[in-house]
């Protein structure tokens, strides 16, 4: 993996490369002069500190504090969610939002959330898992294949593909919902898992990401060498390209998973049978239940359910994140 950039760089030049040498010296002189003037005083101060390298600078307290404000902003609502998942219906109504009520109902809430209405929450959880595995998994496969093709082969219509993808994405999905629904209905797909899975298979951003990633990390020379050795295109893809594409693949998988896990509007239109609801739709149904005659208000279950909905995706993200991060680093930092 670490060889990818170097070998690629030694290969055919990029169109912009020739431009650089001509423009460079002049530009550099200019910048150098400015940079020197601008940084002199700071450099002088820094001398007193232990030496550091640009790659390994000293942590800064002020910068950490300022960035910490953003951290507080992002974590506050999550803290609210966790705190309020410990309250029962009465506690929710009576106590201060950002602090715990007198007695904790956390485990009780979780138990009730999982068992409410014959354990329908668990069913929704399993549905969501199905949609994520099939939808996000499939989306990743399609994006990897497509991105690889766009980056590696010069086939007619190549450029048009992305233009069309971008153009199509610009049309608001809410209004396409009815045509899509009517089409799917005619194919007998509505109210089945397919109605959620098939549209989830397309991730335009995933395609873009894989395209860029494949262009960067799969050197043409390697593929060419494999061809000369008589390797078929598929075999070349699986044995040579795919391993190189892994970090990008994990990234696309991660984002597709989040998108599928959080999918709301599509199932809202396609699925009418609560037995096939994903979690987001189920939670919304619980929310709507408080608004009907004879319905039971279950805000406590909605809050606990929301927390339970977030936990798995966060966990998966954290697990994949480490892998993804190392992959990214491997792809970028050379020895």
Partner 1 sequence: MRTHITRRLLGALAVVSTLALTATACGSDASDGGGDSGPKDVAAALEKGGKVTVWAWEPTLKKVAEDFEKKYPKVDVELVNAGTGDKQYTALQNAMAAGSGAPDVAQVEYYALGQFTIGKSVEDLASYGAQKYGTTFTSGPWNAVTEDKAVYALPMDSGPMAFFYNKKVFDKHGIKVPTTWDEYVEAARALHKADPKIFITNDTGDAGATTSLIWQAGGRPYRTDGTDVTIDFGDEGTRKYTATWQKLLDEKLVAPISSWSDAWYKGLADGSLATLSIGAWMPANLTSGVASASGDWRVAPLPQWTKGDKTSAENGGSSLAVPKAAKNKELAYAFTEFATTGAGASARVTAGAFPATRADLESKAFLDTAFPYFGGQQANRIFAESARNVGEDWSYLPYQVYANSIFNDTVGKAYVSPTTLTDGLKQWQEAGVTYGNDQGFTVNK
Partner 2 sequence: MPHVLFTPVLTLTTVSAPTPLHTLLPHSTPRLRTRSVTDARNPAMTLLSTRATAAPPPRPRARFRLRKEALVGWGFAGPFVAVFGLVFLAPIGYALYLSLFQDRLIGGTSFVGLDNYGKALTDPRFWEGLTRVGLFLLIQVPVMLGVALLVALAIDSGRLYGRTFFRVSIFLPYAVPAVVASLIWGFMYGTRFGLVGNVNDAFGISLPDPLSPSLVLAAIGNIVTWEFVGYNMLIFYAALKVVPRSLYEAAAIDGAGEWRVVTSIKLPAIRSALVIATIFSIIGSFQLFNEPSILQKLAPNAITSDFTPNLYTYSLSFSGQQHNYAATVAIVMGVLTAIIAYAVQLRGMRKG
Q: Which residues, numbered 22-81, are part of the site for partner 1 (CB under 8 A)? A: none
Q: Does residue 271 belong to the site contacting partner 2 (CB under 8 A)?
A: no
Which of the choices partner 2, partner 1, none does residue 73 contact, using the CB cut-off of 5 to 8 A by kind? partner 2
Of positions 129, 130, 165, 242, contacts partner 2 by CB under 8 A: 165
Distance of CA 174 to the CA centre of its chain: 22
Report how far residue 168's alpha carbon sits from residue 27's, in angstroms, rounded to the nearest whole number: 41
Select from 86, 109, 256, 304 the one that contacts partner 2 (CB under 8 A).
Answer: 256
Binding-site partner at residue 293 among partner 2, partner 1, none, CB < 5 to 8 Å by type: partner 1
**Residue 272: which of partner 2, partner 1, none does it interact with, CB under 5 to 8 A by kind?**
partner 1
Which of partner 1, partner 2, none is residue 211 near (CB under 5 to 8 Å by kind)?
partner 2
Structural contact between residues 299 and 92, judged by C-beta atoms closer than 8 angstroms: yes
Binding mask 18-57 for partner 2 (x = CB under 8 A): --xx-xxx-xx-xxx-xxx-xx--xx---------xxxxx
Closest CA to 129 of 249, 247, 276: 276
For partner 2, the closer of residues 202 and 271 by Cβ is 202
Q: Residue 54 is encoded by which pair of tokens?
A: 């640009």
Q: Least distance in Å: CB of 259 to partner 1?
A: 23
Taking the complex as a whole, how short is the minimal distance between the CB of residue 164 and partner 1, in angstroms? 5
Name the DSSP letter for residue 102.
S
Assess contact for 217 and 248: CB atoms under 8 A: yes
Question: Smallest distance, Å, CB 5 to partner 1?
Answer: 30
């Amino acid at each position: 993996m670490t060889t990818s950039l170097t070998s690629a760089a030694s290969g055919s030049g990029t169109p912009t490369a020739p431009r650089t040498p001509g423009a460079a010296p002049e530009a550099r002189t200019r910048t150098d002069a400015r940079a020197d003037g601008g940084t002199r005083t700071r450099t002088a101060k820094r001398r007193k500190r232990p030496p550091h390298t640009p790659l390994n600078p000293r942590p800064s307290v002020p910068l950490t504090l300022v960035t910490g404000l953003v951290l507080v902003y992002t974590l506050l609502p999550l803290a609210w969610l966790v705190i309020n998942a410990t309250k029962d219906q009465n506690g929710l109504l009576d106590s201060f939002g950002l602090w715990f009520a007198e007695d904790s109902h956390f485990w009780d809430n979780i138990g009730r959330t999982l068992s409410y209405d014959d354990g329908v929450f668990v069913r929704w959880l399993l549905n969501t898992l199905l949609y994520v595995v099939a939808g996000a998994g499939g989306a990743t496969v399609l994006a990897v294949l497509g991105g690889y093709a766009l980056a590696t082969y010069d086939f007619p219509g190549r450029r048009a593909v992305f233009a069309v993808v971008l153009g199509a994405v610009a049309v608001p999905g809410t209004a396409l919902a009815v045509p899509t629904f009517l089409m799917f209905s005619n194919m007998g797909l509505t109210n089945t898992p397919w109605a959620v899975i098939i549209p989830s298979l397309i991730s335009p951003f995933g395609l873009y990401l894989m395209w860029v990633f494949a262009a960067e990390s799969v050197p043409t020379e390697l593929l060419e060498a494999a061809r000369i050795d008589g390797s078929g295109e598929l075999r070349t893809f699986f044995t040579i390209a795919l391993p190189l594409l892994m970090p990008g693949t994990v990234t696309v998988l991660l984002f597709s998973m989040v998108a599928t896990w959080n999918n709301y509007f599509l199932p809202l239109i396609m699925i009418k049978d609560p037995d096939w609801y994903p979690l987001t739709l189920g939670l919304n149904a619980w929310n709507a239940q408080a608004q009907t005659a004879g319905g039971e208000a279950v805000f406590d279950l909605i809050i606990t359910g929301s927390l339970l909905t977030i936990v798995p995706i966060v966990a998966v993200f954290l697990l994949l994140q480490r892998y993804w991060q190392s992959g990214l680093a491997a792809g970028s930092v050379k020895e």
